[in-house]
Amino acid sequence: MRSVYVKSQDRADPLAGLAIGDLEERTAPEGWVRVEVRAASLNHHDLWSLRGVGLPADRLPMVLGTDAAGVDPEGRDVIVHAVIAAPGWVGEETLDPKRSLLSEVHPGTLATHVWVPARNLVPKPPELSFAEAACLPTAYLTAYRLLFDAAALRPGQRVLIQGAGGGVATAAVLIGRAAGLHVVVTSRSERKRARALEIGAHEAVATGVRIAPVDAVVETVGEATWEHSLRSLRPGGVVAVAGATSGPAPSADLNRVFFRSLRVIGSTMGTLEQLQWLRDQLLATGVRPLIDSEHSLDDDDGVTSAFERLASGEAFGKIVLTR
């Protein structure tokens, strides 16, 4: 099976461990089905795996990729939900302490085929292309859950989204604006701020610039923006956290947290039901995932250029591999 996988890990040079070639398919657990991959999007999770974060070396080689859209054994177009609950778990899959994502314990989606639990398949509507649908399971689902579950935002409220241009941040701008939120974004890059305004943000400011108080902050950056996130909230506001790409250990600033009755809520990925709601929101609003670039999954140079684009930090929107 042609696969894009981790052959070795290097924190300083993650792409050095990237490999493309044929791997033997592993035996799938009972109740799993084989999906023919038509499109798969990249995430920073893939770079972390190449660095050795969250993926032990004894699991190598490991097929990369958490997101995919494709065709199931009955010929139906489907979107793959990436969260894998432990056998026997009952309840919300994101709360399972033994949960994993595809490419952590089980082979991921950057291959000709991926095996997943049958319940993890969501019908793909014809209105969404395979490339668009492949953007949903990680970045867009995470953004949806941050906005409407963790932060519980309602139309007309103000939200600050840190780090314009990232997959989750871009998704939050698009679906937040479509839901009637007042969207403020930050970025160190003037180009990314301008682009955020083009896709629907109401305000775009340099990282750290003082803004009018917001009801909630979508935080995926971490140490570099944490102080600004707390200082930007109205009393009683909430920071919804789903990442810490610049570092996980900022000052908690507890005096500000308790004096202003702030809330900090962690969130990761989303449920199968929330993926369905996200899909339906896109259909109802006409919003479509923003794709930075498409590359061929069947071409070695295309795969390499996609990962180089991801690692560069220059992408605005999702990078997608298609077949």
Query: Residues 86-122: pLDDT tens digits?
Result: 998 999 999 999 999 999 999 999 999 999 999 999 9
Q: Is the backbone of residue 165 left (phi > 0), alpha (psi -120 to 50) or beta? A: left
Residues 107 and 149 in one domain: no
Name every residue whose Cβ is closer than 8 Å to that of residue 217 and which is 6 or more positions away in sequence.
159, 160, 161, 162, 229, 232, 233, 237, 238, 239, 240
Residues 70 and 179 in one domain: no
pLDDT tens for 143-179 read 999 999 999 999 999 999 999 988 999 999 999 999 9
Confidence grade of residue 245 (pLDDT, cut at 50, 70, 90): confident
280 falls within a domain? no
Residues 13 and 120 in one domain: yes
Local structure of 260: helix, strand or coil: coil
**Count of structural domains, the chain:** 2
Residues 111 and 224 in one domain: no
Q: Taking the CB of residue 126, how many other CB atoms lie within 10 A of it?
A: 6
Task: Find out whether 319 and 295 touch, Cβ atoms under 8 Å.
Answer: yes
- What integer pLDDT is reported at residue 165 of this predicted model? 87
28 falls within a domain? yes
282 falls within a domain? no
Residue 144 DSSP label = H
The whole-angstrom separation of Cα 294 and Cα 297 is 9
SS (H, E, C) 64-133: CCCCCEEECCCCCEEEECCEECCCCCCCCHHHCCCCEECCCCCCCCCECEEEEEHHHEEECCCCCCHHHH
- What integer pLDDT is reported at residue 172 of this predicted model? 98
Residues 145 and 114 in one domain: no
Confidence grade of residue 26 (pLDDT, cut at 50, 70, 90): confident
- What integer pLDDT is reported at residue 38 of this predicted model? 98
Residues 42 and 109 in one domain: yes
Amino acid of residue 222: G
Residues 156 and 250 in one domain: yes
Residues 121 and 170 in one domain: no
The whole-angstrom separation of Cα 268 and Cα 68 is 18
Residue 221 DSSP label = S
Task: Find out whether 223 and 246 touch, Cβ atoms under 8 Å.
Answer: yes
pTM: 0.96
Average pLDDT, the chain: 96
**Residue 53 main-chain phi, psi, to 5 deg:** -95, 120
Residues 148 and 231 in one domain: yes
Amino acid of residue 146: L
273 falls within a domain? no
Q: Which of 263, 320, 261 is nearest to 131 (CA)?
A: 320
pLDDT exceeds cutoff 90 at 213 = yes
Residues 143 and 131 in one domain: no
Residues 151 and 238 in one domain: yes
pLDDT exceeds cutoff 90 at 77 = yes
CATH number of the CATH domain containing 152: 3.90.180.10
Residues of the chain above pLDDT 70, percent: 100
pLDDT exceeds cutoff 90 at 299 = yes
pLDDT tens for 120-148 read 999 999 999 999 999 999 999 999 999 99
Query: 266, 281, 310: which is the final residue of a domain?
Result: 266
Residues 100 and 148 in one domain: no
Q: What is the extent of the structural domain holding 6?
A: 2-135+289-322
Residue 295 DSSP label = E
Confidence grade of residue 8 (pLDDT, cut at 50, 70, 90): very high
Rounded to the nearest angstrom, the gap between the alpha carbon of residue 235 and the centroid of all alpha carbons in its chain is 29
pLDDT tens for 267-285 read 999 999 999 999 999 999 9
97 falls within a domain? yes
38 falls within a domain? yes
238 falls within a domain? yes
For residue 264, give both structure tokens: 């900090």
50-79 core/surface letters (b: 16 or more CB in 10 A; e: else): bbbeebeeeebbbbbbbbbbbbbeeeebbb
- What integer pLDDT is reported at residue 177 of this predicted model? 98
Give whole-number Cα distances, 193 to 185, 209, 217, in Å.
7, 13, 17
283 falls within a domain? no
Q: Taking the CB of residue 275, how many other CB atoms lie within 10 A of it?
A: 24
